[in-house]
Structure 1
Amino acid sequence: MPLRYIAMPDDEAERLQQGGSDAYGNPPERRVSDGDGVPCRHCLRNVDAGEAYLILAYRPFASAQAYAETGPIFMHADKCPAHDERSLPAILTSSKDYLLRGYDADERIVYGTGGIVSAEGLVERAVALLARPDVTFVHVRSAKYNCYQCRIEADREEPGADKRRA
C-alpha cells in the first residue's frame, strides 16, 4: 500500500511564519537552531544549525474535541518548501522510535492502535493500521515527548496528481 506523509498545510505554515497566532492564541516564539532535534512540521526536514525556527502550540485536527490533542511543535521561521507527500520524511528517520496512533473518519482515536515502533518498523506498522477498515489516518508522534510529527494516509489517488493540501 503506497502512503502519503502529510505535513502542516501550506496556508497554515505561511500564516504562522507571518506572525499568526498558534492554537492557544499566542504568537510563535522565534529561536535559532543548533542543528540538533528541531524538526519542521511543514517541510518535514530538520532545521539546520544557524537557521531561525518557531516554537508554537499546534492542533492537527479540523475541530476542537476531546481527542484533538494540542502540543508544541517546531517549524522554519521563514518560508520552506512543502514536503513531497509520497516520500518518507527526513524527520521520520532521525529518531530511534516513534509513537503511531490510528484515528477514524471522525478524528477519534481507534483504541488498540497506539504504540511505540522502531524507525525501521514505522512504514510496516502504518500500512497495517491503514489496512483496518476503522482507521482513516495515522498520526506519528515523538516517542519521547509525544510531539506531533506528521499524518499518514493511504495513497488511493492516481500517481502524478497534485495532492498537497492548500
Structure 2
Amino acid sequence: MTLRYIAMPDDVAEQLQQGGHDAYGNRPEQNISDGDGVPCRHCLRNVEHGEPYLVLAYRPFSSAQPYAETGPIFLHADKCPAPDGNARPAILTASTEYLLRGYGADERIVYGTGGVVPQARIEERAEELLTRPDVAFVHVRSAKYNCYQCRIEMRVL
C-alpha cells in the first residue's frame, strides 16, 4: 500500500493568503514566527523564524455537518508550494505522537478508529485503517491540541 499525504488545497490557501475569510467568516490573524511549532497546513513544513504566518479557523471537510470539526491552524502568510504528497511531511516529525482518526466516504468519523499513536507508527496505523472498507481517509491531528495536520489516503496506482 502506498500512502498519499494531502495538504490544504491550493485554492483555499491562496484565498486565505489574499485576505479571504476563514471557516468562521473572520479574516486570519497575522503573526511572525518564532520558529518553534508553527506548522503550515499547505506546504506541510514549519514556518521559519521571522516569517509571517496566519492563524485561522479551518474546517477540512466539504460541508458543515455534525462531524466536520473546525479548529485553529497555521498557514504561511505568503504563497508556499504544496508538497507532492509522496513522503511523510516535515510537520509530522515535530512531535512524538499524533492522533489518527478514520472517516467514511460520507465524512463522518468511523467509531473505533481514533487513537494516539507514536510518530514512528503513523504509516503503519494509517495503512491498517485504510484497508478497512468503511474508512475512506484518515486525519492526522495533534495529540496535544487536536489541531488538524493533514489528510492521508491510499494512493491509486
TM-score interval for Structure 1 and Structure 2 normalised by the shorter chain:
over 0.9
Q: In structure 2, how many angstroms separate the alpha carbons of the residues matched to 1:101 and 1:8?
A: 17
Shift of 1:80: 0.4
Partner of 1:96: 96
Shift of 1:106: 0.1
Letter in 1 for 2:84: D
Partner of 2:34: 34
Q: Residue deviations 1:89-148, cap 9 Å, x none?
A: 000111111000000000000000000000001110000000001000000000000000
Partner of 2:149: 149
Shift of 1:66: 0.3
Unaligned runs of 5+ in 2: none
Alignment of structure 1 residues 12-91 onto 2, 5 Å: 12-91=12-91
TM-score (norm 1): 0.94
Q: In structure 1, how many angstroms separate the alpha carbons of the residues matched to 2:83 and 2:21?
A: 23
Unaligned runs of 5+ in 1: 158-166
Q: Partner of 1:113: helix, strand, or coil?
A: coil
Q: Indicate the larger mover: 80-89 or 107-116.
A: 80-89
Shift of 1:6: 0.3
Q: In structure 2, how many angstroms separate the alpha carbons of the residues matched to 1:83 and 1:151?
A: 13
Partner of 2:6: 6
Letter in 2 for 1:54: L
Q: Partner of 2:54: helix, strand, or coil?
A: strand
Shift of 1:156: 1.2
Q: Partner of 2:140: helix, strand, or coil?
A: strand
Q: In structure 1, how many angstroms separate the alpha carbons of the residues matched to 2:95 and 2:141?
A: 11
The root-mean-square deviation of aligned C-alpha atoms, in Å, is 0.5
Aligned length: 157
| Structure 1 outlier segments of 4+, above 2 Å | none
Q: In structure 2, how many angstroms separate the alpha carbons of the residues matched to 1:63 and 1:83?
A: 24
Q: Partner of 2:38: helix, strand, or coil?
A: coil
Partner of 2:140: 140
Letter in 2 for 1:119: Q
Letter in 2 for 1:40: C
Q: In structure 2, how many angstroms separate the alpha carbons of the residues matched to 1:55 and 1:154?
A: 29
Q: In structure 1, how many angstroms separate the alpha carbons of the residues matched to 2:67 and 2:83?
A: 26
Shift of 1:54: 0.2
TM-score (norm 2): 0.99
Letter in 1 for 2:103: Y
Q: In structure 2, how many angstroms separate the alpha carbons of the residues matched to 1:142 and 1:65?
A: 22
Q: Partner of 1:99: helix, strand, or coil?
A: strand
